[in-house]
């Protein structure tokens, strides 16, 4: 059996990897309803042009993308927000190395299954526990949360889903590592957030960040190159690459985008989308209407008015 320090070290790394601040931004909810299946974007992955035919679809769905990207980037992985900022990545690398060192123990059990302080459990397959004794070489292990409930951060929250850790060489972060969130749902009582996301780092300062999610229309979308600041009330600012399954990717820049009156769609601020050619800017209103100004870069420009309700 492991000693108490070993247990606390392991559970600390789990919680540090998943603590989500302000996770209720996307809607209400009560207790966790169990694990959510992992999803994977399978739509068009190449960059697309923006024109009159796709400007409305690309910009209206990008409103959900900003919220998903902001939820993902506010997910504190080992004490650092998930962005492509090199300073954040270096902090992530250092914290990962420190965390792995702290949980290495010759006294780990043949199987790990720990209950939460207010219910549920988190487990690691016994076949993967040798990862915590490795001093070099590739390491991979999966943590499975099942309605795991915790009170250690001052508020009750539940976690479901899996987090997969992969290190090319546990002794050298510069050799590359990745974290993969598979259907991870976090609920702090004010609303659930589901994250399907991969953080893939080739070294201590270069990472690719991808988050897949199901939109309001049931389609699977993707957002990557995520860098957002702010919150749903005061507004999100930042940029990302947004992938629409039917058209492909565009670059988006959010300016003071707020949420609250229109569900997962914005009720304020604006988003500028830029394609291989053409641009479109959507401005959101508190009554859930929007105005889109598009220009295809080839002489066709116009205005589109619409509503989310």
Domain count, the chain: 1
**pLDDT tens for residues 39-69?**
889 999 999 999 999 999 999 999 999 988 8
pLDDT at 97 over 80: no
Percentage with pLDDT > 90 across the chain: 35
- Evaluate if pTM is beyond 0.75: no
Please tell me which residue, 27 or 57, carries the higher pLDDT value.
57
Mean pLDDT across 162-185: 81
Contacts of 207 (CB under 8 A, 6+ apart): 84, 89, 92, 199, 200, 201
DSSP secondary-structure letter at 201? E
Please tell me which residue, 104 or 289, carries the higher pLDDT value.
289
| pLDDT value, residue 152 | 61
DSSP secondary-structure letter at 91? H
**pLDDT tens for residues 224-275?**
988 888 888 999 999 999 999 999 999 999 999 999 999 889 999 999 999 9
- Cα separation of 201 and 204, whole Å? 7
pLDDT at 81 over 70: no
Contacts of 116 (CB under 8 A, 6+ apart): 122, 147, 148, 149, 150, 158
C-beta of residue 216 within 8 angstroms of C-beta of residue 202: no
The least confident of 29-33, 98-102, 245-249, 258-262 is 29-33
* 61 Rama class: left (phi>0) / alpha (psi -120 to 50) / beta: alpha
**pLDDT tens for residues 114-138?**
677 788 887 878 777 776 677 788 8
| pLDDT value, residue 3 | 35
Q: Report the range out of 54-58, 186-190, 191-195, 211-215 with the highest average pLDDT.
A: 54-58
- Cα separation of 57 and 292, whole Å? 11
| pLDDT value, residue 196 | 81
| pLDDT value, residue 262 | 94
Mean pLDDT across 31-45: 70
What is the number of other CB atoms lying within 10 angstroms of the CB of residue 115?
A: 11
C-beta of residue 44 within 8 angstroms of C-beta of residue 247: yes
- pLDDT category, 139, cuts 50, 70, 90? confident
Contacts of 130 (CB under 8 A, 6+ apart): none
Question: Which of 252, 256, 251 lies closest to 236, judged by CA?
Answer: 256
For residue 38, what are the domain limits? 4-307
Mean pLDDT across 189-216: 79
| pLDDT value, residue 41 | 93
- Cα separation of 248 and 245, whole Å? 6
Mean pLDDT across 83-111: 48
| pLDDT value, residue 290 | 98
Mean pLDDT across 185-211: 76
- pLDDT category, 153, cuts 50, 70, 90? low
Mean pLDDT across 201-223: 85
| pLDDT value, residue 154 | 59
| pLDDT value, residue 237 | 93
Could you give the residue ranges of the DSSP H alpha helices within 138-264? none
| pLDDT value, residue 210 | 86
- pLDDT category, 300, cuts 50, 70, 90? very high
| pLDDT, averaged across the chain | 76
Return the structure tokens found at 112. Answer: 């790990």
């Amino acid at each position: 059996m492991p000693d108490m320090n070993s247990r606390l070290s392991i559970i600390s790394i789990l919680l540090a990897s998943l603590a989500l601040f302000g996770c209720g931004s996307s809607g209400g909810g009560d207790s966790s309803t169990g694990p959510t299946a992992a999803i994977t974007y399978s739509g068009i992955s190449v960059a697309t042009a923006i024109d009159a035919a796709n400007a409305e679809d690309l910009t209206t769905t990008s409103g959900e993308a900003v919220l998903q990207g902001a939820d993902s980037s506010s997910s504190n992985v080992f004490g650092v927000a998930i962005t492509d900022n090199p300073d954040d990545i270096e902090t992530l690398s250092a914290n990962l190395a420190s965390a792995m060192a702290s949980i290495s123990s010759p006294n780990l059990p043949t199987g790990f299954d720990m209950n939460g302080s207010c219910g549920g459990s988190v487990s690691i397959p016994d076949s993967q526990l040798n990862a915590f004794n490795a001093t070099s070489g590739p390491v991979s292990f999966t943590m499975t949360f099942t309605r795991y409930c915790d009170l250690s951060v001052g508020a009750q929250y539940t976690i479901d889903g899996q987090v997969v850790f992969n290190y090319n060489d546990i002794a050298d972060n510069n050799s590359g590592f990745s974290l993969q969130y598979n259907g991870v749902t976090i609920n702090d009582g004010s609303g659930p957030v589901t994250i399907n996301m991969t953080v893939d780092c080739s070294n201590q300062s270069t990472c690719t960040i991808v988050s897949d999610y199901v939109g309001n229309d049931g389609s699977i979308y993707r957002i990557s190159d995520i860098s957002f600041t702010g919150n749903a009330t005061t507004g999100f600012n930042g940029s990302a690459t947004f992938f629409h399954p039917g058209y492909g990717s565009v670059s988006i820049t959010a300016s003071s985008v707020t949420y609250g009156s229109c569900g997962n769609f914005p009720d304020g601020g604006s988003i500028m989308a830029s394609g291989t050619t053409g641009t479109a800017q959507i401005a959101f209103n508190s009554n859930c209407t929007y105005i889109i100004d598009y220009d295809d870069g080839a002489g066709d420009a116009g205005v589109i008015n619409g509503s989310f309700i």
